[in-house]
Amino acid sequence: MQTLLDQQVTDKYAYNKKDSKFPQPVHIPITNDRMAKLMLYNENHKEYISLLLSLILNLKYQNIYDNIIFVKPNIDNSNYYEALRTVDILVNIKNKIYNIEINNIYSKAMLERNIDYINKIYGSKRKKGESYAFDVSIQININNFNFKEDDKVIRTFYLRDEEYILTDKIKIIYISLSKIREKYYNLDFCSKNEQT
C-alpha cells in the first residue's frame, strides 16, 4: 500500500528566501525555526499562537488565549539509548497537548520523526504505577511543500481502519503552505483560515 509519505512532493510555491521581494536581510520567514519559535513559542506574544490555533482548529480565540500553557519542548527519553527529542512548539490548552512542527523541506524521515513525537507526547504523562489516563494529543505539521497528488490544503489523520476511528485522542494535521501560496498566486478561492 502506498502512503502519503511515499508520494512525490513539489516545492514550486514554497517560500524561497532568494525569490523574496522583501528587502534583504530584514525579512525572515515564519518557516524559519528560530523565527517561528520567537513569534509563536513566546508567552509575550501568545496572541499569535492563539490566533493560529483558533483558525486551524476552529476554536474560540479568547478561550485559547486565556488557557494556553507553554510546555517545555523536550520530550523525555524512555531509555538511555534514545536521542534527545526537542519539538518546535508544545502547548497545553485545557489538558489537550498541541505540538506544532514547522517543516521547511520534505524528508520522509523527518515526517516519520514527527509521528514519533506525537506518539511520545501521547504517552509521556503516564508514570510507573499510575493508572492509564491519556490526554488528547494533536500534532500540527506546517509544511513548506505539498504532495503532488494531493490537492487539499489541510488534511487531518486519525488512527482508524476502514470503518472506525480507533481513538480520537491522537490527531495529526498537515497544512501545506505552498498549496496556500499556489491558490493565492493563481487567485483561487482561499478560505479565511487559508488566508491567515
Please provide residue 64's backbone torsions phi and psi, each rounded to the nearest 5 degrees: -65, -50
Share of the chain above pLDDT 90, in %: 29
In this structure, which amino acid lies at residue 128?
Answer: K
Return d(Cα 129, Cα 42) in angstroms, integer. 35
What total of structural domains would you count in the chain? 1
**CB count in 10 Å sphere of residue 76:** 12
Task: Give the confidence band of 171 by pLDDT, cuts at 50, 70, 90.
Answer: very high
Note whether residue 148 is domain-resident: yes
Handedness of CA 147, 152, 157, 160 (dihedral sign): negative
pLDDT tens by residue, 38-65? 888 888 889 999 999 999 999 999 999 9
- Asked if residue 36 is part of any domain, the answer here is no
Q: What is the mean pLDDT of residues 27-36?
A: 75
Amino acid at 134: F
Angle at alpha carbon of residue 20, lines to 17 and 21, rounded to 5°: 160
38-47, 108-117, 126-135, 186-195: the lowest-pLDDT one: 186-195
Asked if the structure places residue 28 within a domain, the reply is no
Question: Cα–Cα distance between 178 and 187 in angstroms, integer?
Answer: 14
Residues of 156-169 as b/e, b for ≥16 C-beta within 10 angstroms? eeeeeeeeeeeeee
What is the span of the domain harbouring residue 102?
72-195
In a domain, 66, yes or no: no
**Strand 146-147 relative to strand 9-10: parallel, antiparallel, unpaired?**
antiparallel
Residue 132 within a domain:
yes
Does residue 4 lie within any of the structural domains? no
Residue 19 within a domain: no
In a domain, 174, yes or no: yes
pTM higher than the cut 0.85: no
